[in-house]
Amino acid sequence: MNEKKVIIKITEDGKILAETVGIKGKQCLDYIRVLEELLEAETIDSQFTHEYFETNVLMNDIQQQMIKEE
């Protein structure tokens, strides 16, 4: 199973960099939102990883199976 992680780096000048790993699609934004709340911070710049544009294949397979069974 794919492990979900948030990698956090703090630079010398105090900037906080965060990267999600193993989190597909827009779900990664939920993790960043929680991090913002915990740190009382806001995102000022972001770049999406390739995982952002991927979907959870398992969920798609389940939805397709449900449609076939109806």
Which pairing describes strands 16-21 and 5-10: parallel, antiparallel, or unpaired?
antiparallel
Q: Is the pTM of the predicted complex or chain greater than 0.75?
A: no
Domain count, the chain: 1
As a whole number of angstroms, the distance between CA 61 and CA 8 comes to 32
Q: 29-33, 48-52, 55-59, 61-65: which has the highest mean pLDDT?
A: 29-33
Q: pLDDT per residue over 14-25, tens digit each? A: 888 999 998 888
Q: 36-40, 46-50, 65-69: which has the highest mean pLDDT?
A: 36-40
Q: Which domain holds residue 28?
A: 5-69
Q: Mind giving me the DSSP string for 2-34?
A: PPPEEEEEE-TTS-EEEEEES--TTHHHHHHHH
